[in-house]
Amino acid sequence: MKLTKETVLNKLVFLGTAGARYVAFGFQRQAGGLWFNFEGINVHVDPGPGAFIHSHKKGLEPNWVDVVILSHRHLDHCADVNHILEAMTLGGKKKRGILFCPEDAIEIDPVVLQFTRGNIEKTVIIREGMEFLISDNLKVVFPVRNAHGVETYGMVFYWKKKVGYISDTAYFEGIEEKYKDTEDLLILNVTMKEPNPRISHLSAVDAEKIIGEIKPEVAILTHFGRTMLKAKPWEVAFEISKKTGVNVIAAYDNMIFDLETLTVIKQR
């Protein structure tokens, strides 16, 4: 099902659900990031490899994007950022749009070209605890620096609904407290089935703990690595649902989620 400027209204599209090297760069799943539409404002979060193509294939034109957010500089989250910004500004013809990113994404070995940044309206460096009003009824907050080696931030959107995205991170004490406002929808990057202290990603066990404490209306698991794919993400989601009483969904590529009704849209 292709979307249009009208039908994408208040939807969230999973342009990718791949996490980490094997699944993202072995192309076992797409890694195009998350496309949110909040009352007409298009926010593309983590445009990884193929984001440009996956958007177009879904009917979503990158030049509709108003805001791009990079949670961090790893390539599975930002490989296509220059393409998206280039499309957003029509190759620099129209100065528009905001980019949010951690400082190390543009200061050290920049992942966003200086030229491309020159074409957009504004670059906002994410700081821990920062709040930013995107429009009168849309605010984004970056509650905490995640534990992921490079500078990494999750985010909470305050809109008609409260929507949180816990990007790549190892589990850390107090993470639930930082994202506790996420009453409606919580998206988690759950890369591993079992915890592995050597890898700074969430496991299904961590996700269960976080979801069980925050108790959002709906939780969506995404950013799957090999062990999660092998375990069948929908089965893992079902188990977490049973244990926490929360409606937990495993995302799939090109899944469309209605942000108003908090339900997955059936596609043919």
For Zn ion, the binding residues (CB under 5 A) are 74, 168
| Min dist. Cβ of residue 74 to Zn ion (A) | 3
Give the distance between the most distant pair of CA atoms in the chain: 52
Q: Across the strands, what pairs with 36?
A: 12, 43
Q: Centre a 10 Å sphere on the Cβ of residue 209 and count the other Cβ atoms it contains.
A: 18
| Min dist. Cβ of residue 147 to Zn ion (A) | 11
| Min dist. Cβ of residue 152 to Zn ion (A) | 7
In terms of CB distance, is 74 or 209 closer to Zn ion?
A: 74
Give the chain's radius of gyration (CA, Å).
Answer: 17
Distance (Å, whole) CA 62 – CA 22: 26
In terms of CB distance, is 66 or 168 closer to Zn ion?
A: 168
Q: How many angstroms separate the Cα of 53 from the Cα of each of 10, 61, 165, 202, 248?
A: 22, 9, 23, 28, 28
In terms of CB distance, is 44 or 74 closer to Zn ion?
A: 74
In terms of CB distance, is 70 or 84 closer to Zn ion?
A: 70
Q: Centre a 10 Å sphere on the Cβ of residue 216 and count the other Cβ atoms it contains.
A: 27
In terms of CB distance, is 32 or 97 closer to Zn ion?
A: 32
| Min dist. Cβ of residue 150 to Zn ion (A) | 7
Spatial strand order of the sheet with 122-125 comes to: 122-125, 98-101, 67-69, 41-45, 31-38, 11-16, 256-258, 263-264
Q: How many angstroms separate the Cα of 126 from the Cα of each of 77, 155, 188, 227?
A: 15, 10, 19, 31
| Min dist. Cβ of residue 262 to Zn ion (A) | 27
| Min dist. Cβ of residue 72 to Zn ion (A) | 6
Cβ-closest position to Zn ion? 74
In terms of CB distance, is 168 or 184 closer to Zn ion?
A: 168
